Structure 1
């Protein structure tokens, strides 16, 4: 197998399983919250803590990645994910909140480790497409969760379903071991203090400073934050929205989420191919921001027109509002100095997952205040549309020159 193919298989497999396991949590939101005696929208707190765990990983996990190598780091992340799911399988409380943090820390390694593997192995002329295929593992895992989790809960019960997911995660750790020798060749250089760095404020400061490495990185990072705010709300609340607003069953809500995720998978690959052909990734993302906001408005306005309309709107939202990440990640890797790719993608993703913390929390507050999921979705869509228009204006004045996808 060519090196780029080995790299893509390993990263796509881990990305898919991590996504399947972590995105099962919001799908289980109503029964998890009901078991804890909390309102359905309280799943936003679990989502925010998961994003906080991702931020912790991205801010302080760079030395850990350098010490162990990307494949071993992905395996450690999967182990943390399994531990977090175990905590969540217990009655919610402080242990469950710790579990959400551990799930986030475990999934946070996928971005920097995967980027480090792929930027070394991917042919430059197909880099955006290969990154987008790898990122398609996120919606693929989400779609599998949408199709499988509800039937597992109905057949086995909530705790047994979580244990099944834990087993899949642990098996994945073993299955990616054969890739380690080929892809972890440069591990261990000068990073013996990686454990201390996990609690180091200096590591956080370094992860922020690295975004000065290229003039387009601040704008690209900020646009990613705005996308992340909306995406995190769609991930956290779509199933609960379908159940509480449209009377969907848990299984039907899972199918709606699966349609949204599968459409996102197609969107990531198609938009990555388009960005490679046009060579204008930043401008492409700015326009996609506006299209994503319009798609969410259609979901809110058109969802009442029957199940077919609801599924169609969910597919459109998935293609646009959740289909941006592969192009964004490839552009970050393209403009970053090669020695700083994992650090740049970590730092930019850190800010993005900061948006993933704020988004669900703000959404929960809006629903508590207004009683309307639709209004909360519209507010999140408007902020993305506004930022997309501002980004397009800045690019029009010349900031985006050189911001294409080709090397």
Structure 2
């Protein structure tokens, strides 16, 4: 039985989102032994997260010509190959030089948001658009949960090299698997652009991308709250496993289980909150209230370990549902208010600012920890900025 086109679009984008998330989140889950191999301190995993986010920013700012030239599915395939190459470089004991692999991973992960949005906005039924976007974005925590449940135990049983090799193999297998979607979904190419490679290093292309945010008055506010959420999410993804491992004397496998609980709850949160947002019809207020709840949940997570493992797992689930469950609602609202011809440009530009926050967040967090403030204070600072932005959104007049 042939699937409806919207179902094929959702299946293909969800698969790629899940696999890319699995690969990218597995790296910080394996942070302690990976940094030890490189001769760096445990909190240096923040450099990996920051450089990976910088690679995503690079694509979001300059990759529009590449997306138009190749079409969304082919661009996603090229991205997964780039991620695999990045993991190979990162796996080598090259010290700081090996961190260039993290930049390549981010560059390969960058196409997921604009390519996925370009595919889904044209095929998702309008009455269920936010839910469908949220299901696609649920691939991020689904991949993260698999990272916590698979990557850490494989590394513990067979060694770090085997775990990293598994990531490379899965990325390449997915790259081959989605070839079957190209015929139906790569029909939305723009004009072929022979200069797409030059656009990756041209500042003018970055300026053009950001200019798309002038297309609707709600876009700047949505971009600000998306950046605030992204900063918080980047710190949670980068440091929760190391926090549990170093502060609560957990094994690497136990730290991975905490991450898995957080990511599973996020997967449920993205779908449930997408369903709620479709019925509330006021995405900005929804995101503001959720930001306040998210900040409170993160602060609870910081002190939960003192109450026992059950409290740690429960608070990790609450953090996942709230602080990492926002993305589907956000992306769907961006796609809704953007002119149809600018959907990929708008989502890329807004996500660009989000990933700039994803670069700076782990660096600020790492600086606070290195200065002696500790993981607890650093998490509280990041939660406070999210609450402040959420309060501002609640008091803004609806447009």
Q: TM-score, normalised by structure 1?
A: 0.96
| Aligned residues between the structures | 397
For residues 127-182 of structure 1, give each alpha carbon's deviation from its aligned partner in whole angstroms, at most 9, with x where no partner exists.
Answer: 00000000000000000000001111122211111011100100001100000010
Name the structure 2 match of 1:404.
Answer: none
Q: Is the 8 A contact 2:39 2:95 kept in 1?
A: no
The match for 2:379 among 358, 377, 380 is 377
Q: Is the 8 A contact 2:20 2:109 kept in 1?
A: yes
1:1-400 correspondence to structure 2 within 5 Å: 1-187=3-189, 189-394=191-396, 398=397, 400=398
After TM superposition, give the deviation of residue 371 of structure 1 in Å.
4.3
**Unpaired segments ≥5 residues, structure 2:** none
After TM superposition, give the deviation of residue 186 of structure 1 in Å.
3.2
Q: Is the 8 A contact 1:72 1:184 kept in 2?
A: yes
For residues 205-264 of structure 1, give each alpha carbon's deviation from its aligned partner in whole angstroms, at most 9, with x where no partner exists.
Answer: 011111000000000000000111111000000000001111110000000000000000
Q: Give distance in 1, aligned partners of 2:288 and 2:178.
A: 36
Q: What is the DSSP-based 3-state SS (H/G/I as helix, E as strand, rest coil) of the residue aligned with 1:390?
A: helix
After TM superposition, give the deviation of residue 192 of structure 1 in Å.
2.0
Q: Give distance in 2, aligned partners of 1:293 and 1:81.
A: 31
The runs of at least 4 aligned residues of structure 1 exceeding 2 Å deviation read 92-95
Q: Give distance in 2, aligned partners of 1:86 and 1:117.
A: 30
Q: Is the 8 A contact 1:303 1:313 kept in 2?
A: no
After TM superposition, give the deviation of residue 187 of structure 1 in Å.
2.2
Q: TM-score, normalised by structure 2?
A: 0.98
Q: Give distance in 2, aligned partners of 1:287 and 1:92.
A: 44
Q: Give distance in 2, aligned partners of 1:110 and 1:302.
A: 34
Q: Is the 8 A contact 2:34 2:91 kept in 1?
A: no
Q: What is the DSSP-based 3-state SS (H/G/I as helix, E as strand, rest coil) of the residue aligned with 2:40?
A: coil
After TM superposition, give the deviation of residue 95 of structure 1 in Å.
4.1
**Unpaired segments ≥5 residues, structure 1:** 402-407
After TM superposition, give the deviation of residue 94 of structure 1 in Å.
4.6
For residues 288-331 of structure 1, give each alpha carbon's deviation from its aligned partner in whole angstroms, at most 9, with x where no partner exists.
Answer: 00000000111112221000000000000000000000000000
CA RMSD of aligned residues (A): 0.9
Q: Give distance in 1, aligned partners of 2:95 and 2:66.
A: 30
After TM superposition, give the deviation of residue 391 of structure 1 in Å.
1.4
- Which 10-residue stretch deviates more, 322-331 or 296-305? 296-305
Q: Give distance in 2, aligned partners of 1:249 and 1:106.
A: 31
Q: Give distance in 1, aligned partners of 2:40 and 2:248.
A: 20
After TM superposition, give the deviation of residue 190 of structure 1 in Å.
4.1
- Which 10-residue stretch deviates more, 126-135 or 26-35? 26-35
Name the structure 2 match of 1:405.
Answer: none
- Which 10-residue stretch deviates more, 155-164 or 229-238? 155-164
Residues 371, 36 of structure 1: CA spacing in aligned structure 2 closer, same or farther, 3 A cutoff?
farther
Q: Give distance in 2, aligned partners of 1:302 and 1:48.
A: 27
Q: What is the DSSP-based 3-state SS (H/G/I as helix, E as strand, rest coil) of the residue aligned with 2:188?
A: coil
Q: Give distance in 2, aligned partners of 1:36 and 1:207.
A: 36
Q: Give distance in 2, aligned partners of 1:303 and 1:223.
A: 29
Q: Is the 8 A contact 1:81 1:106 kept in 2?
A: yes
Q: Give distance in 1, aligned partners of 2:201 and 2:87.
A: 23
After TM superposition, give the deviation of residue 88 of structure 1 in Å.
1.1
